[in-house]
Amino acid sequence: MPPQDGREIIGHMSDLERFVNDDGLCDLDPLIKMALIHHQFESIHPFPDGNGRVGRILNVLYLTRTGLLDIPILYLSRYITRHKDEYYRLLQKARDEGAWEAWILYMLRAVAETSRITLELIEGMRAQMATMKQRMRTELPKIYSQELLNNLFRHPYTKIEYVQTDLNIARQTAGKYLDQLSEKGLLSKHRSGRSNYYINAPLVRLFLEVSGGA
């Protein structure tokens, strides 16, 4: 059971903070240490709600701090959600029986699988961006810019407001750009209420394919 006394929680969190930041306390591989940090944080359970989300954020922030990630983009939540029963079982088993090896191996599998998916997404997005860039420069050279291309891949869909802000252009111009992209089949135009939105369909398909349809 997590500690209930506020002073005890603060003490445990202080110890955890020191463990996270003082590399001289132990000589562990950062991935193994990440698994231990996550377990300890979830066991302290310092907040009334949101401990799981914060714990998963701590994972990527710690890996970024150690230099294993350049930016915190490793989305471990997908793996943990899909293997939730095993996650809670091993979390508890480490507490009750000291079964740390099984817990650490679970977290290492989460990192390995998530890394594979992330790399597939990056490679797929790069290929799609190169294809769209070529088509825009060939078919719509007057509206092409790297900023517009980036906007189309920042989200699975975009809106006039997004393009207007990112490119610092008039609303009418942003709408004209998006309509031209839609007419060429580079985006799919839809309407919701009084607003239009434009879906990057190949990007959506890539997300679904790589994530297994989830």
| DSSP H or E stretch at residue 27 | none
Burial of 56 (0-12, 13-18, 19+ CB in 10 A): buried
Q: Are 64 and 23 part of one and the same domain? A: yes
Q: Are 109 and 149 part of one and the same domain? A: no
Q: Does 88 carry a binding-site annotation? A: yes
Among residues 12, 45, 155, 190, the one annotated as catalytic is 45
Q: Are 28 and 92 part of one and the same domain? A: yes
User: What is residue 73's predicted lDDT score, i.e. its pLDDT?
Assistant: 85
Contact of 117 with 133, CB cutoff 8 Å? no
Q: Does 53 carry a binding-site annotation? A: yes
> What is this structure's pTM?
0.80
> Could you report the per-residue pLDDT of 54-65, keeping only the tens digit for each?
999 999 999 999
Q: Phi/psi of residue 192, each to 5°?
A: -135, 110
Q: Are 90 and 185 part of one and the same domain? A: no
Q: Does 51 carry a binding-site annotation? A: yes
152 inside domain: yes
Range of the domain at 202: 140-210
> Could you report the per-residue pLDDT of 134-143, keeping only the tens digit for each?
999 999 999 9
Average pLDDT over residues 194-204: 94
Q: Are 105 and 178 part of one and the same domain? A: no
> Could you report the per-residue pLDDT of 93-139, keeping only the tens digit for each?
999 999 999 999 999 999 999 999 999 999 999 999 999 999 999 99
> Could you report the per-residue pLDDT of 152-167, keeping only the tens digit for each?
999 889 999 999 999 9
Q: Are 26 and 107 part of one and the same domain? A: yes
Q: Are 72 and 19 part of one and the same domain? A: yes
135 inside domain: no
Q: Does 124 carry a binding-site annotation? A: no
Average pLDDT over residues 155-181: 95
**Average pLDDT across the chain, whole number:** 93
User: What is residue 214's predicted lDDT score, i.e. its pLDDT?
Assistant: 41
12 is catalytic: no
User: What is residue 27's predicted lDDT score, i.e. its pLDDT?
Assistant: 87
User: Maximum Cα–Cα distance for the chain, whole Å?
Assistant: 66
Q: Are 32 and 99 part of one and the same domain? A: yes
50 inside domain: yes
Burial of 35 (0-12, 13-18, 19+ CB in 10 A): buried
User: What is residue 48's predicted lDDT score, i.e. its pLDDT?
Assistant: 87
Domain of residue 161, CATH code = 1.10.10.10
Domain of residue 112, CATH code = 1.10.3290.10
